[in-house]
Amino acid sequence: MKQLAWLLLIAALAGIVYSFWRLRQVWRQRRAASEERYSKLLASTYTAPAQAPSAPPAPDHAALSQQKLLLDAATKAGEAGEAALSIQLYARLLSRYPESSFAVQARAAVEAQKKKIAISRTPGTAGPG
């Protein structure tokens, strides 16, 4: 009877040890598979083929019309003798749309308006006074 109890105790311990060993083996396999998936993910992100340069974005017609309105308003303000307002409108155009197709024209007009202001502020040309 005593031998049977020892035999059952040894069998139970062997079963527990085997269960832990199996669980650890499954855990190692899952961890290895996870690491393999992670390394494949990293490899795919770092070795992605270089994409060809994309075409320039299509012009936004609303933004283009807004740019044209600002340019027209600034031009008309300059023609009306409002050089400071004209410069402000050109500055707004350039700050909102620095890569605009109207940027060169706006910068040149700002320089012309600055010259008008400088000429009107020089003594002797200020008019009757």
Query: Mean of the per-residue pLDDT values for the chain?
Result: 85
List, for residues 53-80, the tens digit of each pLDDT value.
666 566 678 888 888 988 899 899 888 8
pLDDT score at 51: 65
In this model, does residue 129 exceed pLDDT 50? no
- Please state the domain count of the chain: 2
Same domain, 38 and 67: no
Whether 23 is covered by a domain: the verdict is yes
Same domain, 116 and 65: yes
Which H, E and C letters describe the chain, residue by residue? Answer: CHHHHHHHHHHHHHHHHHHHHHHHHHHHHHHHHHHHHHHHHHHHHHCCCCCCCCCCCCCCHHHHHHHHHHHHHHHHHHHCCCHHHHHHHHHHHHHHCCCCCCHHHHHHHHHHHHHHHHHHHCCCCCCCC
Instruction: Give me the domain span that covers residue 20.
Output: 1-43
The pTM of the full predicted model, rounded to 2 decimals, is 0.49
Greater pLDDT, 52 or 119: 119
Same domain, 66 and 114: yes
